[in-house]
Amino acid sequence: MGVMAISVDSAKKSNRDVIVIGAGAAGLHCAIECGKRGRSVLVLDHGGGTGAKIRISGGGRSNFTNRNVTADHYFSQNPHFCKSALARFTSRDFLSLVEQYHIAYYEKEAGQIFCVKSSRDIIEMLEAACKKAGVKIQLKCSVTEIRQQERFLIKTSEGVFSSQSLVIATGGLSYPNLGASRFGHDVARQFGIKVTQTRPALVPFVFAGEDQRVFKTLAGVSLDVAISCGMKRFRGNILFTHRGLSGPAALQASLYWEPQGTLTIDALPETDIFAVMYSRRQRRMEMRNLLAENLPKRFAQVWCDHRRISKPVNETSDKELKEIANQLHAWSIVPKGTEGYETAEVTAGGVNTDALSSKTMEVNKTPGLFFIGEVVDVTGELGGYNLHWAWASGYVAGQYA
């Protein structure tokens, strides 16, 4: 955003009570709530449509909330910050809205709720609710400058607007091809607000050199594991890719992973593999065949080759069996990195919550300015938590903006 003078006069014709920048999940929900209070609301977005990320969410069926929304499923420098909004706008509240619009939904494992038909249903619901609340949406509109005088002055490709309240709902940095930008972080800095370190999250890992060479032959193989990163442990599938690891459990771990950090994988979380091997220790059986009874065959083979495990079970000492079991129950990996923002579902980090009121999402030192949704340093785990944060933070800001 360049520096230039915006005259109040030129903005007079485009006065609004509230301007929301970003027509995604958080921005639209906030706009609806403001409109319901009788505020005149304009939503601006540089994209050609609303809710681009809602559309692709949940593989096109949008995992739009979760029955078990609690602060434990969120990552932030301040883990308490999200509690107030989550308490005031629950998954039941969003389901009531979805039911009002007769959208069919279903629950999958771990409380995840999806549309039966298409994520398009959620976008159409938000657009209809915006219309009902008198919210105007201006697409293909680039904001070039924001100023605060008595009101907020917003210079855009479509003219200059002014508003009493300004809500920044421009999301995170992931999926730049869908319109993600640093805009929200830049606005925060402009108003003297710190932005915490950002990184791609809910993203596949890339193995370091040797691991990549060894395990790329397993691309397409999935394993039901427990994966730990720091104090967090996730049960579920990991999927080997040509470059590293994907699958729901790996994506979950990526939210808590810092560069150079270690992942620990229990490849057999439900099986005491030492006991299994020990019970067969009189048998002349290849170890890879024994492991293949408990693990995918290709994995057992590559694992044994990589670890040079070539002796049959009956020639393997108890100590060696113990070591093999330990390696399978606590396989340590230090990934080279992640696949980055191009494929990350979300951005961890963002607008520092210290600058915001958790009750209203308003900037403590700049009354009238709000930050909501993914642009804020609150990131959910996989399972509908990120969209729920967008709804909840949008809802609370919508009561005050």
Ligand X SMILES: Cc1cc2nc3c(=O)[nH]c(=O)nc-3n(C[C@H](O)[C@H](O)[C@H](O)COP(=O)(O)OP(=O)(O)OC[C@H]3O[C@@H](n4cnc5c(N)ncnc54)[C@H](O)[C@@H]3O)c2cc1C
Binding flag, residue 161, ligand X (CB under 6 A): no
User: What's the rounded Cα separation, in Å, for the pair 107 and 96?
Assistant: 15
Q: Site residues for ligand X, window 365-384 (CB under 6 A)? A: 373-375, 384
Q: Choose the binding region for ligand X from 12-20, 125-133, 169-177, 276-284 (rule: CB under 6 A).
A: 169-177
Binding flag, residue 264, ligand X (CB under 6 A): no
For the beta carbon of residue 324, count every other beta carbon within 10 angstroms: 22
Q: Choose the binding region for ligand X from 58-66, 144-152, 230-238, 327-335 (rule: CB under 6 A).
A: 58-66
Q: Which amino acid is at 130?
A: C
> What letters, b where the CB count within 10 A reaches 16 and e where it falls short, cover 195-228?
bbebbbbbbbbbbeeebbeebeebeebbbbbbbb
299 to 338: interface string for ligand X, x by CB under 6 A: ----------------------------------------
Q: Choose the binding region for ligand X from 42-50, 210-218, 223-231, 318-326 (rule: CB under 6 A).
A: 42-50
Binding flag, residue 248, ligand X (CB under 6 A): no
If the CB atoms of residues 39 and 73 are measured against ligand X, the closer one turns out to be 73
User: What's the rounded Cα separation, in Å, for the pair 14 and 31?
Assistant: 17
Rounded to 5 degrees, what are φ and ψ at 40? Answer: -85, 125
Binding flag, residue 196, ligand X (CB under 6 A): no
Binding flag, residue 46, ligand X (CB under 6 A): yes
Residue 282: exposed, middle, or buried by beta-carbon count in 10 A (0-12, 13-18, 19+)? exposed
Helix (H) or strand (E) holding 214: helix 209-215
If the CB atoms of residues 211 and 345 are measured against ligand X, the closer one turns out to be 345
- The residue whose Cβ lies closest to ligand X is 24
Q: How far is CA 220 from CA 126, 298, 337, in A?
A: 37, 10, 20
User: What's the rounded Cα separation, in Å, for the pair 399 and 401?
Assistant: 6
Can you tell me which of 47, 111, 134, 312 binds ligand X, judged by CB under 6 A?
47
Q: Which amino acid is at 371?
A: F
Q: Choose the binding region for ligand X from 56-64, 100-108, 350-358, 363-371 (rule: CB under 6 A).
A: 56-64
Q: Where on the chain is the footprint of ligand X (CB under 6 A)?
A: 21-27, 44-47, 52-54, 56-58, 62-63, 142-143, 169-171, 174-175, 179, 181, 183, 345-346, 373-375, 384-387, 390
